[in-house]
């Protein structure tokens, strides 16, 4: 471990990284993190993300470099703050602000009550973070509850930018976004997609906050689209004119759309309207972050 940091305990591990809670090796040393757009806050504890070296990768890990560049480029209170980067024993280590919770933990904790005002507050912050990305033509490509952290002061922090990249005219891989949050265009092999894939994933998170279970939980990639069709109904050419041009298009089984009010029985009309505008089949018709932030849901006193 770098002499500047003392590892306290492991707090997370995935396929590509291990995360530790750490503090400075210097007594009473603090770190400055972004509390508000123009205000810094001093903290003693940080999270250190050690990127695991791939067996097939020689040199530095490209996804880690991409994550570092993205976090250096976007400094806003709703995105995890990158404080330092160092290499130890050949592994890249990213020093990040420490957040004790994520939305997945909260959703699964049955002892916690999630109030409508909590969901509205979290969604507003998530969309503000996404807006900062999308206006810079950066797409996250892995929005899910586990990657949406909550700081000690209750602020949403979007994290894990290992799959993020700039939107351009080049082909992009469809092997992005955790399956349950993957947009229909990705499932059908679209390689020229947009930030709309983040909006679909955010809509899935929105639904999950109300239901406390994943909205489209399929067991494999083949079943994922079918899972969506059974709830949202089979799209027509009028709904999604370009769908037949996608590489993996096939004649879908015909399903009628489920009455959303039967699923979201306690959800206010404004919230349901925003949710459905995020879960639109045609990415060109899906609501954008800028329009979502202006949605009546956030100004309504009914959804508290």
The residues that are catalytic are 142
CA distance 259 to 12: 39
Q: Collapse the DSSP code of 3 into the 3-class scheme (helix H, G, I; strand E, B; otherwise coil) and give the result.
A: coil
Tokens standing for 294?
Answer: 């202006």
CA distance 170 to 152: 39
Tokens standing for 123?
Answer: 């969604």
Q: Collapse the DSSP code of 109 into the 3-class scheme (helix H, G, I; strand E, B; otherwise coil) and give the result.
A: coil
Rg (alpha carbons) of the chain, rounded to whole number: 20
Q: Which helix (H) or strand (E) holds 134?
A: helix 116-134
CA distance 28 to 197: 43
Could you tell me if 63 and 40 are in contact, meaning their C-beta atoms sit under 8 angstroms apart?
A: no
Of 151, 158, 245, whose CA–CA distance to 201 is shortest? 158
CA distance 151 to 122: 12
């Amino acid at each position: 471990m770098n002499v500047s940091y003392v590892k306290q305990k492991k707090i997370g591990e995935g396929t590509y990284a291990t995360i530790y809670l750490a503090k400075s090796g210097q007594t009473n040393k603090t770190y400055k993190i972004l509390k508000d757009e123009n205000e810094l806050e001093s903290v003693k504890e940080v999270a250190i993300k050690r990127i695991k070296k791939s067996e097939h990768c020689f040199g530095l890990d490209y996804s880690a470099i991409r994550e570092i560049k993205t976090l250096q480029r976007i400094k806003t209170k709703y995105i995890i703050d990158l404080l330092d980067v160092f290499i130890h024993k050949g592994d890249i280590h990213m020093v990040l602000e420490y957040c004790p919770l994520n939305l997945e933990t909260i959703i699964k904790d049955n002892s916690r009550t999630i109030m409508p005002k909590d969901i509205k507050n979290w969604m507003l912050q998530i969309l503000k973070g996404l807006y900062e990305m999308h206006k810079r033509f950066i797409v996250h490509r892995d929005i899910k509850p586990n990657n949406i952290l909550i700081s000690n002061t209750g602020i949403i922090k979007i994290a894990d930018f290992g799959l993020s990249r700039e939107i351009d005219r080049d082909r992009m891989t469809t092997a992005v976004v955790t399956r349950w949050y993957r947009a229909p265009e990705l499932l059908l092999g679209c390689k020229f997609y947009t930030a709309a894939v983040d909006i679909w994933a955010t809509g899935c998170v929105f639904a999950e906050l109300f239901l406390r279970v994943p909205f489209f939980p399929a067991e494999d990639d083949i079943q994922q689209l079918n899972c969506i069709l059974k709830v949202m109904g089979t799209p027509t050419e009028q709904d999604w004119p370009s769908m037949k041009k996608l590489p993996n298009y096939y004649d879908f089984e015909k399903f009628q759309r489920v009455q959303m009010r039967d699923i979201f029985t306690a959800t206010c009309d404004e919230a349901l309207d925003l949710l459905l505008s995020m879960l639109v089949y045609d990415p060109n018709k899906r609501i954008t972050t800028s329009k979502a932030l202006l949605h009546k849901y956030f100004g309504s006193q009914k959804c508290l």
